[in-house]
């Protein structure tokens, strides 16, 4: 049975059904084949023969960047509440990455964590635990493993503990997530915010509103401050481009803007915080205005000008009602930038 083919979807041995196209993948039944086909296989079937042949060893930064982009695409299924659709593509990524980097490489850890998150979302806790164990084993076998990767592992273990209902254990892992992210990226980095956000959710559901309020405030503050800095850098890049020689590289200097992954994570987290601020027992007009301002900056930097204007106006109108409307000037400046960009594009 050692060489028996495994099902692409669930990993079960002795899968009898083979893909008639590439003739390299196997399935337990037609439903598993259909799920894999819809998720990823229809896009890569014709590529599998050359890909699964002898592989060159590529470790370039370009390859790693491409891998992160592909991982983000699979992550979107989980964020959209479709965890089952993320699993087949992530399993393919795991197999390919194992061939390229080796089964003990830390390059596999983010994929195992994604598989664990997707399995947890699909209520497959036993399978999720196996993926987390694999990720944990690789990190334990890597003495020089980065604090950033260890942080992500603790976040995965924390979210798994939430799904199990073990909230004390979840808080332990999320506290480690925050500690390690701080060590790697600094106290005021947005990478620290994820651990705070998940801890805030736990305290909110435990009805510990003072602690939850404090953590939600920290999350929105970290994103707001980082986005203000990103907006400033973006303005400097635009100004440098406008003053540059017409013979210089077009778009040079604007490549350092917010990544797609940062934009999607920031939007998801801030929208969740906004919902708490607007609808829950933690309503706070000042904090709500700050979250709206942050979201407007995300939309502006992501070139969604219509959404940026809509959310920015909500932030401005709310800020005007505050006893000390300190944020009016910065929100008003953002709206000016949005309007100027609208004029430039029409």
**Domain end among 186, 215, 249:** 186
61 within some domain: no
Quick count: other Cβ atoms within 10 Å of Cβ 342?
13
In terms of domains, do 300 and 327 share one?
A: yes
For residue 76, pLDDT beyond 70: no
**Domain end among 145, 166, 186:** 186
pLDDT band at 251 (very low <50, low <70, confident <90, very high): very low
77 within some domain: no
In terms of domains, do 1 and 130 share one?
A: no
Rounded mean pLDDT, 284-306:
95
Handedness of CA 316, 318, 319, 320 (dihedral sign): positive
* CATH code of 167's domain: 1.25.40
68 within some domain: no
In terms of domains, do 326 and 215 share one?
A: yes
**Domain end among 156, 186, 216:** 186
Neighbouring-strand partners of residue 17? 27
135 within some domain: yes
CA atoms in the 13 A half-sphere facing the CB of 175: 7
What distances in angstroms separate CA 255 from CA 239, 241, 328, one per listed residue? Answer: 14, 12, 29
Residue corresponding to tokens 């999720």: 128
Range 96-134 burial, b when 16+ CB lie within 10 A, else e? bbeebbeeeebbbbbbbbbbbbbbbbbebeebbbbbbeb
| pLDDT at residue number 56 | 40
pLDDT band at 173 (very low <50, low <70, confident <90, very high): very high
In terms of domains, do 34 and 99 share one?
A: no
The first and second tokens of residue 255, run together, are: 């490549």
| pLDDT at residue number 52 | 43
244 within some domain: no
The first and second tokens of residue 82, run together, are: 């479709």
In terms of domains, do 92 and 222 share one?
A: no
- Picking from 188, 181, 185, the residue whose alpha carbon sits closest to that of residue 158 is 181
75 within some domain: no
In terms of domains, do 39 and 110 share one?
A: no
Rounded mean pLDDT, 86-108:
84
In terms of domains, do 42 and 96 share one?
A: no
| pLDDT at residue number 27 | 86
For residue 284, pLDDT beyond 60: yes
What 3 state SS string does 251-273 have? CCCCCCCCCHHHHHHHHHHHHHH
Contact 145, 139 (CB under 8 A): yes
d(CA 216, CA 198): 9
In terms of domains, do 166 and 193 share one?
A: no
In terms of domains, do 169 and 230 share one?
A: no
Which of the given ranges, 40-44, 226-230, 259-263, has the highest pLDDT on average?
A: 226-230
336 within some domain: yes
For residue 54, pLDDT beyond 50: no
Rounded mean pLDDT, 126-152:
95
Domain containing 267: what range?
187-239+260-345
**Residue 38 per-residue DSSP state:** I
Rounded mean pLDDT, 189-205:
96
In terms of domains, do 202 and 338 share one?
A: yes
Q: Is 54 helix (H, G, I), strand (E, B) or coil?
A: coil
Neighbouring-strand partners of residue 18? 26
72 within some domain: no
In terms of domains, do 171 and 303 share one?
A: no
Q: Is 124 helix (H, G, I), strand (E, B) or coil?
A: coil
pLDDT band at 57 (very low <50, low <70, confident <90, very high): very low
pTM, entire model: 0.79
Q: How open is the CA angle 85-87-93, to the nearest 5 degrees? A: 120
What phi and psi values does residue 87 have, to the nearest 5 degrees? -65, -50
* Domain count along the chain: 3
More reliable by pLDDT, 84 or 80: 84
In terms of domains, do 205 and 332 share one?
A: yes
d(CA 226, CA 203): 25
């Amino acid at each position: 049975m050692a060489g028996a083919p495994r099902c692409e979807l669930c990993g079960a041995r002795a899968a009898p059904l083979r893909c008639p196209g590439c003739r390299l993948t196997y399935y337990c039944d037609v439903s598993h084949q259909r799920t894999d086909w819809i998720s990823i296989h229809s896009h890569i079937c014709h590529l599998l023969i050359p890909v699964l042949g002898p592989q060159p060893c590529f470790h370039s930064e370009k390859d790693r960047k491409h891998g992160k982009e592909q991982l983000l695409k699979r992550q979107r299924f989980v964020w959209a509440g479709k965890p089952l659709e993320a699993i087949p593509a992530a399993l393919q990524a795991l197999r390919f990455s194992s061939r390229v980097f080796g089964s003990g490489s830390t390059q596999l850890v983010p994929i195992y964590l994604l598989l664990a998150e997707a399995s947890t979302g699909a209520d497959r806790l036993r399978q999720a635990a196996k993926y987390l164990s694999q990720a944990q084993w690789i990190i334990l076998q890597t003495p020089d493993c980065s604090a950033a990767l260890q942080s992500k592992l603790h976040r995965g273990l924390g979210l798994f503990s939430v799904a199990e209902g073990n909230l004390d254990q979840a808080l332990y892992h999320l506290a480690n997530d925050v500690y390690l992210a701080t060590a790697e990226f600094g106290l005021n980095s947005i990478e620290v915010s994820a651990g705070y956000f998940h801890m805030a959710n736990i305290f909110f559901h435990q009805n510990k509103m003072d602690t939850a309020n404090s953590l939600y405030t920290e999350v929105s503050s970290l994103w707001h401050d980082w986005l203000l800095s990103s907006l400033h850098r973006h303005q400097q890049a635009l100004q440098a481009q406008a003053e540059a020689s017409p013979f210089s590289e077009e778009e040079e200097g604007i490549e350092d803007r917010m990544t797609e992954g940062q934009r999607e994570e920031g939007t998801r987290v801030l929208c969740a915080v906004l919902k708490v601020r607007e609808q829950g027992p933690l309503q706070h007009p000042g904090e709500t205005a700050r979250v709206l301002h942050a979201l407007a900056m995300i939309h502006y930097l992501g070139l969604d000008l219509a959404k940026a204007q809509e959310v920015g106006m909500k932030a401005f109108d709310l800020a005007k009602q505050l006893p000390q409307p300190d944020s009016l000037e910065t929100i008003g400046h953002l709206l000016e930038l949005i309007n100027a960009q609208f004029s430039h594009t029409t």
